[in-house]
Structure 1
Amino acid sequence: MNIFKKVPLAILIGSTLLPAYAMAQSQMGGPGTVGPSAGDREFSLSGTGSSNKDFDNSSFGVSVDYGWYLSDRMLAGIRQSISYADVAGEDLSGDFWNGSTRGFVDYHFGRGAARPFVGATLGGIYGDGVKDTGTAGLEVGLKYYMLPSTFVQARAEYQFLFDSGDSASDNFDNGAWAYVLGMGINF
């Protein structure tokens, strides 16, 4: 299929979505009236989970964030995550609980309903399935304001563990990705 046959479809989709986006903005008072202001606080609750095809190796977790807006774009706060894994295997099996407490700083872009962000975290991880140690990470995400102060969010965080400054630089290449989906409010 050549590109000229795809153009009318793209125009049709765009002409359908653009009015819907404009209507959503007008219902929220237009750009600049959604989202936080400097001094506002934020609370969010997110979840994650996975299972293999037989559901004999499963995990799930929740993450609670509480933060303060230092400006209308910069959020600093604390994040508590708890995860549970039920693992069945030859080398390792059983139930494992892990927790993580991290400070975070995120910078948000844009002023409309969709707000992408980037950030960094620093804290500790502890529990049954891990050695109690420090953790740091970089994150990227998107918040979408459905109401002036209520949003849904998706976040991906690259985390790595360390015991000292030297091990932090050594372990950066051995990190892991964590993904969450959740909701939050500004107040």
Structure 2
Amino acid sequence: MKKVIALVASALLAGPVAAYDVGPEKGDKSFTISASGNSDQDFDANTYGVNAELGYFMTDNWQGGLRQSANGAAGSDVNDAWLGSTRAFVDYNFSSGLTGNRTYIPYIGANMGYVYGELVENTGQAGVELGMKMYVLQKTYINFGVEYSWLFDSTDDFDNKSNDGFYSYNIGVGFNW
């Protein structure tokens, strides 16, 4: 009977101990690949695509890096076309997670970069973002993200264009090492 109690206690304690070891640490690098979609505010111009992201954890919480996106477009307000973007980002990862064991780590951040392609004049892009990393292994996660971005030609346009933005959403898989 003592062996059964010890076995059950070990099994119950192993989950939280193992779960605590998941997630990023200072100095970790990350790579995420994801499928993405964009919509204007009326959902009349939609894109679909793929994103690749390379990041670095400056602390257990702060992550910075680069994202590259390649997208196709479809919808009643656009002809079939392609576009891409290259953006730098900084995110704050809430290291305690939602459940206290770091399995689900929400994040919030901002990005800025450049958009190019058939649908836009080569122009600047800025945005805010939030999401969730769900760790399925110690250093492997599923990423769910949403961005609100806007385009601008100059610093004068930066504030004026923020109400004319678009939403981007993605789901992908990522790795820390």
The one-letter code of the counterpart of 2:159 is: S
Question: Which deviations, in whole Å up to 9, do the C-alpha atoms of 1:4-44 show, x marking residues without a partner?
Answer: xxxxxxxxxxxxxxxxxx9697176132x111111110000
Alignment of 1:1-187 (within 5 A): 26=15, 29-31=18-20, 33-49=21-37, 59-87=47-75, 93=79, 95-111=80-96, 112-187=102-177
CA drift at 1:49: 4.3
Question: Which deviations, in whole Å up to 9, do the C-alpha atoms of 1:42-66 show, x marking residues without a partner?
Answer: 000010248xxxxxx9742011000
Does the CA-based 8 Å contact 1:81-1:100 persist in structure 2? yes
Pairs aligned (count): 157
Q: Which runs of 4+ in 1 moved over 3 A?
A: 22-25
Does the CA-based 8 Å contact 1:25-1:113 persist in structure 2? no
Question: What is the SS of the residue equivalent to 2:160?
Answer: helix
Where do 5+ consecutive residues of structure 1 fail to align? 1-21, 51-56
CA drift at 1:155: 0.5
RMSD: 2.4
Q: Percent identity of the aligned residues? A: 38
Question: What is the SS of the residue equivalent to 1:29?
Answer: helix
**Greater relative CO, 1 or 2 (CA 8 Å, sep 6+):** 2
CA drift at 1:120: 0.3
Q: 1:136 to 1:151 in 2, by over 3 A?
A: same
TM-score (norm 1): 0.77
CA drift at 1:141: 0.4
Question: Which deviations, in whole Å up to 9, do the C-alpha atoms of 1:79-99 show, x marking residues without a partner?
Answer: 000101245x6x753x31100
Where do 5+ consecutive residues of structure 2 fail to align? 1-10, 39-44, 97-101
1:15 is aligned to: none
